Amino acid sequence: MMKYQSFIGLEVHIHLLTKSKAFCSCRAAFGDEPNSNVCPVCMGYPGVLPALNGEAMRMGAVVARALNCTLSPKTWFERKQYFYPDMPKNYQISQFASPLGVDGWVDIPAGGGGPASSAAGTATKRIRIKECHLEEDAGKMIHAGNVSLVDYNRAGTSLLEIVTEPDFETGAEAECYVQQLRRTVRYLGVCDGNMEEGSLRCDANVSVNLRGQGLGSKVEIKNLNSSRFVRLGLDYEIERQVALVEKGGMVRQETRLWNENRDQTETMRVKESSNDYRFFPEPDLPPFSADAGFISSVEAGLVELPFDRERRVGSEFGLSREQVTIVCEERAFADYFEAAVAEAERLGMDKKVAAERVAIWMTGELKRVMNRDGLGAADVGALKVTGARLAAIVALVASGRISGKIARQLFDAALVEEAEPADIVAARGWELVVDPARIAAAVEEAIAAEPSAFSGAAAATAGGDVGKARTLSAFLVGKAIGASGGKAEPGLVKAAVEARVTAAATAL
């Protein structure tokens, strides 16, 4: 057993996808013209009155419930005082004494690592969620040379802070949690999870101690703007703290930054004493009571979460682990899959066969073109090839009306044309030829063009040289399909060629 024990607690801030800010009606959007979404309320002018955005409360509560938190029946807001140029009011409206959700938990794969797995039998580790509380974001400082600019568009936008207990032990576990949380909030449709744009931000608290001695003196790491940096920063910091303690030193309680260019954490500020934020109840906002209507709107927002969906999709449709992982990566992608399979079933296909075919298309060709076009799995709904249209393509192949090769052409056409696959096939004359007379004509054309292959096949059949007979017949089948312009149904051509060869062999 290792001599030291590490403790990690994460504070993740997510930007809720509300249309307006948390306490005023300004637009909440990333990337707008700086300082265009501001008003007296979010700029903290004297005498203005904030008003709570109910949608922010609902979205926050949906996340809290998805993380198994208990919703507080009554919550209120406090003012947290501090002074910084990105905070026009000189206080932040936050929740201190009555977070909207408390005492939750989530399970992560034990040890973290790899894509979080839903496979049965995978050991999980339970991470306690201390609380989720709603607050407003600050503006954004841009430091350019010797000037600093500030954009207040973000000031007052709704932020949910999700705080865990110090239950992680490694960077890999923390990374896994962040990825899982990101996926969860995307599934819930309450946050886009974009870490580069700051829609999901993570501060990590970490301490080490001799095993069995409890929590150590904690260091907070900021500036972790990717889940990979969460892992790297924490692993670096654990190593640094252990080395320090090994040398007889003490870990100083401080805030450090992850320097992604030097792959190390560096001191940002040392906490001499704990901050005094002088919290007091926000006098301009009444307490919020979660009534029955609110609770039911929250429950309605609780979609099937990624792990549950993976588990169900895996067993209900019989997909492989890899397929499940890709299909369920984003809710829209999983919805697309299920819609396609349902439609294929309606078109008469067996469910598992349909699921297998649809999954192959989605994890192969569909993914390929979406990557090519710079689309993520969540954008699948924007394609002209809807789930129902993919199902139609799959069903056309299954019924033998088009070949696998034509199916790919059809898929490419369906990507750019707003048309039903069956109509595209009809318009282009892509349907396979199944008419016996036309099949026979194609076969005769091939025999006439390759008389020695035909007589060779007949002789090999008569002489019992099965391998040679098969090779020559396959050659003739290829020629016959070619003679039909690639449109003769291969199974029927094969049967026709074999019948002709057998007849010729018997006559020898």
Encode 267-283: b = buried (16+ Cβ within 10 Å), e = exposed.
eeeeeeeeeeeeeeebe
Q: Where are the beta strands (DSSP E) in 158-299?
A: 158-164, 200-210, 219-224, 254-259, 264-270, 280-281, 288-289
10 binds, among ligand ADP, Zn ion, none (CB under 5 to 8 A by kind): ligand ADP
> Among Zn ion, ligand ADP, none, what does residue 229 contact (CB within 5–8 Å per kind)?
none
Does the CA dihedral 330-333-339-340 come out positive or negative? Answer: negative
Q: How far is the CB of 292 from Zn ion (least distance, A)?
A: 31
The residues that bridge with 135 in the sheet, in sequence order, are 159
206 lines the binding site for ligand ADP (CB under 6 A): yes
Stretch that binds ligand ADP, among 9-17, 55-63, 142-150, 485-493 (CB under 6 A): 9-17
218: partner contacted, choices Zn ion, ligand ADP, none (Cβ within 5-8 A by kind):
ligand ADP
Q: Among residues 379, 370, 400, 383, which one has the least CA distance to residue 490?
A: 400
CA–CA dist 340, 317 (Å, integer): 12
Q: Which does 72 bind (CB under 5 to 8 A by kind): Zn ion, ligand ADP, none?
A: none
Give the nearer residue to Zn ion in terms of CB position, either 39 or 52: 39
> DSSP character for 303?
P
- With b for 16 or more beta-carbon neighbours within 10 A and e for fewer, the 223-243 pattern comes to bbbbbebbbbbbbbbbebbbe
In the complex, minimum distance from the CB of residue 275 to ligand ADP, in angstroms, rounded to a whole number: 8
Binding marks (x or -) toward Zn ion, 29..58, rule CB under 5 A? Answer: ----------x-xx----------------
Does 26 interact with Zn ion (rule: CB under 5 A)? yes
Quick one: tokens of 340?
A: 């396609």
Residue 230: partners with Cβ closer than 8 Å, 6 or more residues away: 10, 171, 174, 175, 178, 202, 204, 224
Cβ at position 394, least distance to ligand ADP in Å = 48
- Is 168 in contact with 8 (CB distance < 8 Å)? yes
* Count of chain residues binding ligand ADP (CB under 6 A): 15
Judged by CB, which is closer to Zn ion: 24, or 163?
24
Interface mask toward ligand ADP for 154-173; x: CB under 6 A: ---------xxxx-------
Helix (H, G, I), strand (E, B) or coil at 493: helix
Residue 359 touches which of Zn ion, ligand ADP, none (Cβ within 5-8 Å per kind): none
Selected from 210, 215, 503, 508, the binder of ligand ADP by CB under 6 A is 215
Give the footprint of Zn ion on this chain (CB under 5 A): 24, 26, 39, 41-42
Give the footprint of ligand ADP on this chain (CB under 6 A): 7-11, 163-166, 205-207, 215-216, 218
